[in-house]
Amino acid sequence: MNLTRDEARARADLLSVDSYHVSLDLTRGETVFGTTTVVRFAATTGASTFIDAVTDAVHRVTLNGVELDPATVSDGVRIELANLAEQNELTVVADGRYMNTGEGLHRFVDPVDDEVYLYSQFEVPDSRRMFAVFEQPDLKARFRFTVTAPAHWAVVSNSPTPEPVPADAITGTTSSTGGTVARATWDFEPTPVMSSYVTALVAGPYQRITSELTSADGRTIPLGVFARTSLMQYVDAEDIFAITRAGFAFYEAQFGTPYPFAKYDQLFVPEFNAGAMENAGAVTFTETYVFRSKVAQATVERRAITVLHELAHMWFGDLVTMRWWNDLWLNESFAEFMSTLAAAEATEYTTAWTTFSSLEKSWAYRQDQLPTTHPIVAPINDLEDVQVNFDGITYAKGASVLKQLVAWVGQEQFMAGVREYFGKHAWSNTELTDLLTELETASGRDLSAWGQAWLETAGVNTLAPAIESDGGEVMTSFAVVQTAPADHPTLRPHRTAIGFYDVDDAGRLVRNHRVELDVAGERTEVPELVGLERPDLILVNDDDLAYAKVRLDENSLATAKRHLKNFEQSLPRTLVWNSTWDATRDGESPARDYVDLVLANIAAETDSTVVLVLLRQLMQTLYQYVAEDHRGETIERTADALLRLARQAEAGSDHQLQFVKSFAALARNDEQLDAVTALLDGGETLPGLTIDTDLRWDLLVALVAGGRRGAADIDAEYERDATATGARMAAMARAAVPTPEAKAEAWDAVVERAEFPNAVQQAVIAGFKRAHDESLLTPFTDKYFAAIEQVWATRTHEISEQIVAGLYPNRPISADAVAATDAFLDQLGDRTPALRRLVREGRDDVVRALAARERDTAVVATP
Ligand SMILES: [Zn+2]
**pLDDT tens track for 115-164:** 999 999 999 899 999 999 999 999 999 999 999 999 999 999 999 999 99
Ligand 1 centroid, distance to 4 Cα (angstroms):
22
pLDDT digits (tens, 9 = 90+) for 514-572: 999 999 999 999 999 999 999 999 999 999 999 999 999 999 999 999 999 999 999 99
Pairing outcome for strands 509-519 and 57-63: unpaired
Residue of 639, 614, 489, 638 whose CA lies nearest to 564: 614
Ligand 1 centroid, distance to 197 Cα (angstroms):
12
Cross-strand bridge partners of residue 538 = 500
pLDDT digits (tens, 9 = 90+) for 476-527: 999 999 999 999 999 999 999 999 999 999 999 999 999 999 999 999 999 9
**pLDDT for the residue 39:** 98
Ligand 1 centroid, distance to 349 Cα (angstroms):
20
Residue of 196, 176, 32 whose CA lies nearest to 99: 32
Ligand 1 centroid, distance to 220 Cα (angstroms):
26
Q: Please compute the mean of the pLDDT values over residues 737-750 and round it to a whole number.
A: 98
Residue 103, pLDDT above cutoff 50: yes
Confidence of residue 860 (pLDDT cuts 50, 70, 90): low
Cross-strand bridge partners of residue 282 = 265
Ligand 1 centroid, distance to 726 Cα (angstroms):
29
Ligand 1 centroid, distance to 534 Cα (angstroms):
44
Q: What pTM, to 2 d.p., does this model score?
A: 0.96
For every residue of 551-584, which 3-state class applies, written as one string?
CCCHHHHHHHHHHHHHECCHHHHHHHHHHHHHHH
Q: How far is CA 458 from CA 371, 401, 447, 492, in A?
A: 10, 12, 18, 11
Measured in degrees and rounded to the nearest 5, phi and psi for residue 243 equal: -65, -40
* DSSP state for residue 860 in the 8-state scheme: P
Ligand 1 centroid, distance to 237 Cα (angstroms):
21
**Dihedral angle, C-alpha 749, 752, 755, 758, nearest 10 °:** 100
Residue 861, pLDDT above cutoff 90: no
Ligand 1 centroid, distance to 436 Cα (angstroms):
20
Residue 670, pLDDT above cutoff 50: yes
| Whether 621 contacts 595, CB under 8 Å | yes
**pLDDT for the residue 181:** 81
pLDDT digits (tens, 9 = 90+) for 41-70: 999 999 999 999 999 999 999 999 999 999
Q: How far is CA 258 from CA 217, 266, 780, in A?
A: 6, 19, 55
Give the H or E element holding residue 723. none
Ligand 1 centroid, distance to 232 Cα (angstroms):
25
List of residues 6+ apart from 441 with CB closer than 8 A: 417, 420
Q: Is 427 left (phi over 0), alpha (psi -120 to 50) or beta?
A: left
Q: Please compute the mean of the pLDDT values over residues 187-212 and round it to a whole number.
A: 98
Listed range (651-665, 695-709, 825-839) with the worst mean pLDDT: 825-839
Confidence of residue 472 (pLDDT cuts 50, 70, 90): confident
Residue of 408, 405, 367 whose CA lies nearest to 389: 367
pLDDT digits (tens, 9 = 90+) for 643-667: 999 999 999 999 999 999 999 999 9
Ligand 1 centroid, distance to 834 Cα (angstroms):
21
Mean pLDDT of the chain: 96
List of residues 6+ apart from 717 with CB closer than 8 A: 696, 697, 700, 726, 729, 730, 733
Confidence of residue 384 (pLDDT cuts 50, 70, 90): confident
**pLDDT for the residue 178:** 57
Ligand 1 centroid, distance to 413 Cα (angstroms):
24
| Whether 296 contacts 654, CB under 8 Å | yes
Q: How far is CA 642 from CA 628, 661, 662, in A?
A: 21, 9, 7
| Whether 692 contacts 76, CB under 8 Å | no
List of residues 6+ apart from 575 with CB closer than 8 A: 357, 539, 541, 542, 544, 550
Q: CA neighbours within 13 Å on the CB side: how many for 290?
A: 25
Measured in degrees and rounded to the nearest 5, phi and psi for residue 48 equal: -120, 145
Ligand 1 centroid, distance to 266 Cα (angstroms):
14
CA distance 178 to 174: 7
425-442 in b/e form (b: 16+ CB < 10 A) is: beeebbebebbbebbbeb
| Whether 343 contacts 368, CB under 8 Å | no
Confidence of residue 862 (pLDDT cuts 50, 70, 90): low
Residue 863, pLDDT above cutoff 50: no
Ligand 1 centroid, distance to 805 Cα (angstroms):
22
Listed range (8-12, 377-381, 711-715) with the worst mean pLDDT: 377-381
Residue 110, pLDDT above cutoff 80: yes
**Dihedral angle, C-alpha 415, 421, 426, 429, nearest 10 °:** -130
Cross-strand bridge partners of residue 166 = 184
Ligand 1 centroid, distance to 330 Cα (angstroms):
10
Q: For the purposes of burial, counting CB atoms within 10 Å of the CB of 401, is it exposed (0-12), middle (13-18) or buried (19 or more)?
A: buried
Ligand 1 centroid, distance to 335 Cα (angstroms):
6
pLDDT digits (tens, 9 = 90+) for 270-329: 999 999 999 999 999 999 999 999 999 999 999 999 999 999 999 999 999 999 999 999
| Whether 216 contacts 253, CB under 8 Å | yes
User: Which positions are catalytic?
Assistant: 310
Q: For the purposes of burial, counting CB atoms within 10 Å of the CB of 228, is it exposed (0-12), middle (13-18) or buried (19 or more)?
A: buried
Confidence of residue 385 (pLDDT cuts 50, 70, 90): confident
| Whether 193 contacts 312, CB under 8 Å | no
**pLDDT for the residue 389:** 83
Measured in degrees and rounded to the nearest 5, phi and psi for residue 344 equal: -70, -35
Residue 177, pLDDT above cutoff 80: no
| Whether 391 contacts 367, CB under 8 Å | yes
**pLDDT for the residue 171:** 64
First to last CA, the chain: 63
| Whether 203 contacts 153, CB under 8 Å | yes
Ligand 1 centroid, distance to 635 Cα (angstroms):
37
Helix, strand, or coil (residue 500) = strand
